[in-house]
Structure 1
């Protein structure tokens, strides 16, 4: 018997046992143990057909009646699957509370084939509401039940790890996010359903490596996966890889390659009207052109990203553009334009609690102020940035803040200078794997 048939037979046996009010122990005897009964109900493949036949006889379930009961069981499973599809659609269109209500109405016991799916969708719903603790609880339940279920072809385990990694990412727990992603890749069933999960895990792993500053490792990952991306049907996921390829190429100094992939990605995003991806790629393109000192094309690229502001809702992108535009103007010694751009970046970041890009803007504004000889004012910006980086765990930016303060105190206040140098060392030691490089736009 194939695995799915075994599972369906197990479901029939479990339902009959429960309807009759019997425990696992009530069916056990010298020929069959409670554990074997449980394995049969869960569809474990290594149980012998003789044991299954013996249990069917004990329950007085004739083999000739079994096909009819299996058809009924399949019909019930089809209804549950349809209800889950309804839940997924409601969540997708923003009707989260209604989706959760439908899940509450879907009463499934812990041995049901779709119980892990129900917890998975509950986790997705809570993620949409940014209720991270409830989402994590639901997903850990999905993991637990999937791991107990021998029928793993749905790839629910990998899918649950994917969502857990995203929850960690949204809470700035990058190492944990990376660990969950690796777990998802390790447990992925190659010939199972939901094949798109694997490529999403690879894409997200690249993003987490980027955030952790592990640029070489991230580039290697993207290069290894690149031959597979042409098979990706979802344009948004495909563009995620184009962004990673362009960004990693830029960060390791291969600017022409960065420009090539950014421009290819922009064309794909334009054809598919994916404005978020288009904006991200214009930002990378502007940064690459800045590195090659092609000022006009860099400025145009950043302004193209800003023109997309009305087309997307994520304010972080606008903040990032103004930060990078400010850096560009500083390189051109257009100090007033630089100050105006950086102040806009800070204004957006404060409005939307974008602390990551707020710290970047403050550091850049401190650099601009310092270059104008206003050291005391620069120190205020650097200290404000330092407080943010320490509060939110942005170690690389904390290192930069200490370095900038040391620069201000050098030759002026030896005690403060030594204090900054000591803290630079401690920050570097705490973040041993961080690649501290002078990338102008590594945010």
Structure 2
């Protein structure tokens, strides 16, 4: 037996032999004989480690391929590939952390044949560039092209590029406020993850994404179960950002389940980790979450302390969508304290940022609380317009619970203004209640 078989990846051997067979316009049946069946030849071409090496050499010889000689060529190719891998890693680093435009320019300057495996990497990086730029349609198109091609190259399986691409594609749909699609792509990413392959961290990001999207869809028990599974694997999670998100989402879910003491404990533990690691955005979110818990408990001084602590970090935060909940809470807090002007200013800012940043769920919640302000001040026409806008957003994005809230408050306002509209609003509210009942039964 020659030594080349030990130097070659079985998947690469399979790809080489399959390509050679196709160049000769032959099918497996043409090459099968008493020594190698069609199923054996298929296993060789798929790179499965269940075929005797002698049979691999035998098949290669039938196709005129010298595997020992090919091993030498492959070694030289491998060295070139390692250099190219480093270039692509450098470009991704520029796109993610450095000068994005320089990274894009370098990427586009690379001359990569469409038949090359590196063309798939290039498509993925283009998708990533446009994702960060929030040009979602272009990003989606590049990720879809990547997924369309990735299975043509078995050698890519162990890189986990497919799982990474599904993760980023799920984020595209998250930014589009399409949480069901985001969940679907995340689950496909989890299913395509290859344990022991590259980018081991991505499995934790995928599971976190699953928990986030389930929480957004009000499937709280499933989200909490996913988080608990991640918690059991705590020591394997290397990303502080993933860990802090676990704290924040878990605290939010426990709050929604009225498990306030547990929610406060989890939030405070996360706050400490965020402080020690200087992770400003997660600290901001955790203080906001803690404030929302105290607000629900009607402990207003504690709630105000938390919200103001969060907003003291504002200059450190790059993502404006994070401010929407904080200003909504500040507005609600001031409503409870009957500081009407301060409440109105905070809610106007929450609505402005919600519309600007396209976070539909946060925007809808901000509109509902602003509608509450108008209603409490007996400004019923303004309240109606605000609740109607929240209702339209809830319909568009499938936010059934927010729609119920908007319709309930809208009905109260119509009762003061128009009997016919009041009845119509109650009928819509009844339909939503039936939908929620059906969802609970299912």
TM-score normalised by the chain length of structure 1: 0.85
- Segment of structure 1 superposing worse, 235-244 or 36-45: 36-45
Matches within 5 A, 1:399-438: 399-410=404-415, 413-428=418-433
Shift in Å, 1:60: 4.7
Corresponding residue of 2:214: 209
Quick one: distance in 2 between partners of 1:433 and 1:146?
40
Which of 6, 13, 25 aligns to 1:9? It is 13
- 1:53–1:101 Cα change, 3 Å: farther
Corresponding residue of 1:170: 175
> Is the Cα contact below 8 Å between 2:361 and 2:399 reproduced in 1?
yes
Matches within 5 A, 1:146-295: 146-151=150-155, 152-295=157-300
Corresponding residue of 1:23: 23
Which of 86, 91, 105 aligns to 2:90? It is 86
> Is the Cα contact below 8 Å between 1:165 and 1:178 reproduced in 2?
yes
Matches within 5 A, 1:297-336: 297-336=302-341
- 1:311–1:4 Cα change, 3 Å: farther
Shift in Å, 1:29: 8.2
Which of 70, 76, 84 aligns to 1:72? It is 76
Structure 2 unaligned spans of 5+? none
Quick one: distance in 2 between partners of 1:290 and 1:4?
63
- Segment of structure 1 superposing worse, 333-342 or 309-318: 333-342
SS at match of 2:9: helix
- 1:101–1:378 Cα change, 3 Å: closer
Quick one: distance in 1 between partners of 2:77 and 2:27?
22
Q: Does 1:396 align with 2:398?
A: no
Matches within 5 A, 1:337-416: 337-352=342-357, 355-410=360-415, 413-416=418-421
- Segment of structure 1 superposing worse, 160-169 or 393-402: 393-402
Q: Does 1:139 align with 2:143?
A: yes
Quick one: distance in 2 between partners of 1:110 and 1:157?
18
Shift in Å, 1:433: 7.5
Quick one: distance in 1 between partners of 2:318 and 2:107?
29
Shift in Å, 1:26: 6.4
TM-score normalised by the chain length of structure 2: 0.85
SS at match of 1:218: helix
Deviation digits for residues 208-264 of structure 1, max 9, x if unmatched?
112112222212221232121233211111111111111111111111111111111
Corresponding residue of 1:439: none
- Segment of structure 1 superposing worse, 288-297 or 198-207: 288-297
SS at match of 1:25: coil
- 1:347–1:167 Cα change, 3 Å: closer
Instruction: Figure out how many residues of one structure are paired with residues of the other and give that number.
Output: 430
CA RMSD of aligned residues (A): 3.2
Quick one: distance in 2 between partners of 1:123 and 1:200?
18
SS at match of 2:303: helix
Structure 1 unaligned spans of 5+? 436-443
Quick one: distance in 2 between partners of 1:88 and 1:43?
30
Shift in Å, 1:298: 0.9
